[in-house]
Structure 1
Amino acid sequence: MDRKSKGHQKIEMIKMSNEINLQVTFSKRRAGLFKKASERSTLCGVDIAIIIFFPRKKDFSFGHPCVEKVIEDFICGNPPRDTSGAMTLIEVHRNSRIHELNMILTRVMNQLEIEKNRNAELKEIQKICESKCWWMGPKQEMRFSQLEHLKTSLEELKKKVTKEAEMIII
């Protein structure tokens, strides 16, 4: 069986020297490119614009819905219009995540409030203990007689601890 075509072969990418062949190839490639753009626009629901500048100061363009609209939206930063419902799905997911995070934040804030109340209660208990057990209070606020009494008590405690330690060692 003889092959009638050479099939897909690698060709060197250089500018064509024959102007007629160049024009024909350009026209075919341009038509194929515009056809693919139209298919993508229809199948994927996207806005698309293609502008081609030909060396002979000719320009060709394709756009869906139109080139000017797509370029204006691109320059102004306008989000694309939603034709597939994908943006709605994204927004629902985002709102769901925000709701979930708000619930977590509420739980954490409630826990923080509980801990603040507990801290206040512990401070009250500490104040009560300090008033009953004067030696637990800040030393800077003690009177001289209280400091002397504390010193004597600590010396006696030291003697007892030393005696007990010697008994354990022996």
Structure 2
Amino acid sequence: MRRPNGRRRIQIVRMQNQTSRQVTFSKRRAGLFKKASELSTLCDADVGIVVYSPSNKVYACGHPSVESIVDKFLGENPTPGTNDPNPIIIAQQNANVDEINRKLNMLERQLEKERKHGQALQALRTEPSHEKLSFSDLKSLCEALEAADEEVERVASQLLEANKVFPYQTIGSAFAPLIVRESTSFDSNEGPSQSSE
């Protein structure tokens, strides 16, 4: 039975191929620096790493800085107040807080505006719904609607007599203008005639 080509252990010995050695160094160096950063963040530890590549280039990673870690390790020039916050970071944080506060104030103003708009709309809904109306109230509402219908018919007939253009059709396309011609007639039972489109 053949073994799958999954993760296999490699022998930890010096690589002979220089190109492979350089590629492996680059990949492992990034992982090493990432682990050092995680250790510093998780454990609140001061971490410093100095690495020389196969081509003799120096790479360093440290928190709060490589120099402060080296000085602390050697006991030379201990830097006072290394835990003091960086003024550049504080300025950036303050700028972020100001921006967030500005957005929050704008959203609160919009919310208050919408709340007032909602209250105004609620105030307009003072009439009870038709389901809660009594028979006499429904009869009064019906008479008021009939009176409004008669007023609409009266205005429509005046516009027909004056050959005016109706702004919109009442049946069919709601956005196509309706032009009333002289030859169209008006019947109070059918409503205004529509022109052919």
TM-score by length of 2: 0.36
Give the number of the structure with larger relative contact order, counting CA–CA contacts within 8 Å between residues 6 or more apart. 1
Higher helix share: 1
